[in-house]
Structure 1
Amino acid sequence: MPTILVTEPIHADGLAQLRARPGLDVIEGWTLAPEAMRAAEGRADGLIVRFHRCDAAFFGRTPALRIVARYGVGVDLIDLHAARDRGVTVAITADANTQSVVEHATWMLLSLAKPFDRWRRGMAGLTALTREQWAGLTPSKFASRDEGLGGELGGKTLLVVGLGRIGRRVAQVATALGMQVLVVDPYIDRTPALALGYRFADTLAQALPQADYVTLHCPRNAETLGMIGAAELALLPAGAAVVNCARGGIVDEQALADALARGHLSGAGIDVFDAEPPPPDHPLLAMPNVFSTPHAAAATREAAWRMSTHAARNVIDFLDGRLDPSMVYPVPPRA
């Protein structure tokens, strides 16, 4: 009887899906003591993991393991080469969190363009105004806009770094808002995107000077780690803004803080940090023009349900010999 170890809590419907498949021994790993958890790892045929680290040492002590099903799409805690060497398939819940992340990135872009938070706070001070006083206010005198007016995204250039599932959807939303989309992604067929009116640049160095906003939607790996550093940020026009809902470490956070502090950039939206949680004295956390969230872009009820049930389905489909190849994470070349 195959043993499936679910290392962290998932939606009850995902667990029910596993238990409804005859012949599976499903173990809730988060209920186990460390010694029992180690023993369960050693006899598991399949894993569903959220934050569980699967490094080379892990694969060395899990001789029965055949599949690791990720709750989500990020695999930075999984040693893909060690998995391949052991013959273990790594599956992701592709598209399960796309809608949530697209909405989060769009909210960050809009929040960087328009001072929603200042306006919300400022409304509290306007409640005592008479109707005549309210009617007499002009936008430039509006109390909650004391640091200037908001801007529009329409007509601005959005640089999308990584035109995968999420990047494509963000580009579609940006186009609907009237933005011009510029793309850097050396791994895709450009033809469909060119037909939609997107422009491409071969390198970041070519693209960054043209961008009013940058949004990152690429994996963290040896190629992208530290990809946006001080030199790259300096290439952006004055007043540009950066959004990272991809993975921490792709943007040099100290360089970003420096560029914001000296006024070269107007703001940033950061959902992911190199070290999570970030330290309390992290420079980006105290900046009023930074919208930071705790790796929450996919934290919606809908995405949680989809990631849970899709991960369970990936395990079952693998055992039944019908796993969708698009759910299998490709192993990159060794660095």
Structure 2
Amino acid sequence: MSSLTDRYLAATLRAVPAPRREELDAELRGSIEDMIEARTDAGRDADAAEREVLNELGNPDRLAARYADRRLQLIGPTYYLHWQRLLRLLLTFVPALAGTTVGVIQAATGEDLVPAIASGFGTAFEVAVQVTFWVTLAFAIIERVEPSLKLPVWTVDQLPEVPAKQDMTLTDIAASAALMLFAAAFLPWQHFWSWARQIDGERIPLLDPALWRSWLPVLMAVLLAGVVFELVKYRVGRWTWPLVAVKAALDLAFSVPVVWLLVNDRLLNPDLIERFTWLQDEGNLQSITVIAIITTAVVLVWDLIDSGVKARRAG
């Protein structure tokens, strides 16, 4: 287990510009050791002396701000870190939850898909702005009224463990695998439980049902193979060039058929296009196709570059 000093330095230096970390690590470590030695020479227990020194140095985020010459005064130094922590927490899920809810409700009540998605994104943006404004206003008022808030005092017991140096984490692997499983589950879902309906209420598959005799099983297999790849990647523990090659093969095996189907107008269900007249308007379907192709290509290129860079760094 890492020492309190190691944990304190790791928590401090993560918020310092990378070029200065090595220099500051040596400087700060030397200062801490000197302060601890002065106390132990006076008869203090080494562990107790270490805790006293680190508690006197205070919150590592505040110390890092001084080293980085970064002012904590958007709200004020007293409440800045509390404001930042709360705002980050709320913005991680509140806008996304609100936007998703609005988009799903509008799509389920018969709204066209594109306007429903646009409405969801618009709602998410508005909620993010509102959350930022009201949280900031509340902290600004608290700072000026200065109530006797009994905020928790920082101690070394709050220090996290020094993170292990690794190219990938279980969280990243789980997120990637879950995304692929979701995509694989979407293919049968859109066929049997599509939100799109005919006038008589019959569900309309989003993708061409004829593709079940050709490309859709292949795409599902590629996605499931991607899940297996994520598990293998986690077991290896770092990016290697063979893993990059397998990743590239899987990405191409999925992206190339999708782009080919889009280019040849064979991906979407013809009944879906016939049901929603706005898709038949001049240029609408073509614009959606172009956006989908560009998005697929950008994701493919980015994924290949990212995995290649990580493999080179790991090597």
Q: TM-score range, shorter-chain basis? A: under 0.3
The alignment's TM-score, normalised by the length of structure 2, stands at 0.28
The alignment's TM-score, normalised by the length of structure 1, stands at 0.26
Rg comparison, structure with higher value: 2
Higher helix share: 2
Higher relative contact order (CA 8 A, sep 6+): 1
